[in-house]
Structure 1
């Protein structure tokens, strides 16, 4: 299995990053609908938690895309897919429950990182005393530190932008749903996601790459690559989830775990 994964990763590395991004987006959006179909609200909640955790790890990897002048951190696509899941919860189960799921995701990510930091508190195995068969433990310890220790600033930035932008997304989505009497799904889906994405990009980028960064990125890179550059990608990502929103109506109707759509008068 290990060898198979290595071969697969090497094959993927030879493909343009844009192709991998499209594949990531397709898997993420399809995953939302599949989990919704078979597990209902529980599947959507699970996706939100997994996507936030995954995005917080992916952000540690930097990739050069042809459309950007500077390398950018990953995680945008996976995190953006949580807006589809949250919008589906708002649409079919109500804004009040969507807000609870936002806070649940926040608590899960926070608890996960606490567990990981406590894990690092265990004294590493002394390879010299334990024997050469435990040599892998030293490499694993170093890898875990490289992944987990830089997370504090990114974690604070990510969770702050997550809470602000997701609550704004739910409020806008529910507000537009009321104003259009439940019509124009494409409008509330795109407007709420695009506005929230701009806020998310701005807050996260300022905190992660300037305020909490050990080596802050230049202002022009921050504005044109991390805020406006990735925001343009977020607009495309938001527009591409519209077909999945409409497809969700059939998925919801055929799901054995569906419940009647919530009548939510609060935005």
Structure 2
């Protein structure tokens, strides 16, 4: 199917410029970008009035969830699942490549820059594993809940689908991540505090900023990508 679509694009790129397939590629690329960007930004902590609240990736991460909602809403769960797995694979490749870069020899005069690079791209194996597992379970559960709610609401109440699905997804993506990454390294009360602060921060950003973007994206795609892939019509 993909080869056939690629052949059509090569033969007549102008005709296929706004095809549903091309919109899917755009949304998938944005989701991959948002997720990898969030992971890089996570090394930056946000502190207000002497209190460290969460990492900078918490601000951009809800965009990845919003795009997952859009994928499920327009193209269905099976297509969303494929993009989620693609995002997982792209992030794993990104981590492997940047991690290799840490151990490549560097000139002495560039030692400070090399150390800065290492500070950003050296991931503890436990944290990396926790992040990947939590993302996969969180996004898949988010997409599943999105479909479950849509079966009961139809195309109405998009905000209910986006918020409720994210509320479930963030349980895995925040709660499971913190437990897998930090259990045994700090007191239980600190773990609970980390989970609650990050969970409600992500959910708040999703509700205030990402949901309006989801409304705009879904309205645009329903109009311009009106013919969904076969998977969406089955669901």
TM-score (structure 2 length as normaliser) = 0.81
Match of 1:52 in 2: 35
The answer for unaligned runs of 5 or more in structure 1 is: 1-36, 128-134
Match of 2:15 in 1: none
* Mean CA deviation greater in 95-104 or 192-201: 192-201
Match of 1:170 in 2: 143
Contact (CA 8 Å) 1:124, 1:141: kept in 2 or not?
yes
> CA 1:122/1:40 → structure 2, altered by over 3 Å: closer, same or farther?
same
Residue 185 of structure 1 deviates from its aligned partner by 1.7
Contact (CA 8 Å) 1:210, 1:217: kept in 2 or not?
yes
Contact (CA 8 Å) 2:72, 2:80: kept in 1 or not?
yes
Residue 172 of structure 1 deviates from its aligned partner by 0.5
Question: Aligned to 1:263, what secondary structure does the other structure show?
Answer: helix
Q: What does 1:144-183 correspond to in 2, within 5 Å?
A: 144-183=117-156
Instruction: For 2:218 and 2:151, locate their aligned partners in 1 and report how far apart those are by CA, in whole Å.
Output: 18
Question: Aligned to 1:182, what secondary structure does the other structure show?
Answer: coil
> CA 1:182/1:217 → structure 2, altered by over 3 Å: closer, same or farther?
same
Match of 2:160 in 1: 187
The alignment covers a number of residue pairs equal to 211
Residue 217 (1) aligns with residue 186 (2): yes
Match of 2:63 in 1: 81
Task: Identify which of 233, 258, 261 aligns with 2:201.
Answer: 233
Match of 2:7 in 1: none
Contact (CA 8 Å) 1:56, 1:155: kept in 2 or not?
no
Match of 1:113 in 2: 95
TM-score (structure 1 length as normaliser) = 0.72
Residue 97 (1) aligns with residue 97 (2): no
Contact (CA 8 Å) 1:92, 1:260: kept in 2 or not?
no
Deviations 1:194-230 (A, max 9, x none): 121122110111122335xxxx333222212x11122
Residue 253 of structure 1 deviates from its aligned partner by 4.4
Deviations 1:99-134 (A, max 9, x none): 000000010010111112222332222x3xxxxxxx
Match of 1:263 in 2: 233
Instruction: For 2:45 and 2:203, locate their aligned partners in 1 and report how far apart those are by CA, in whole Å.
Output: 21
Question: Aligned to 1:72, what secondary structure does the other structure show?
Answer: strand
Match of 2:3 in 1: none
Question: Aligned to 2:233, what secondary structure does the other structure show?
Answer: coil
> CA 1:249/1:71 → structure 2, altered by over 3 Å: closer, same or farther?
closer
**RMSD (Å), alpha carbons:** 2.2
Instruction: For 2:79 and 2:48, locate their aligned partners in 1 and report how far apart those are by CA, in whole Å.
Output: 37
Question: Aligned to 1:193, what secondary structure does the other structure show?
Answer: helix
Contact (CA 8 Å) 2:77, 2:144: kept in 1 or not?
yes
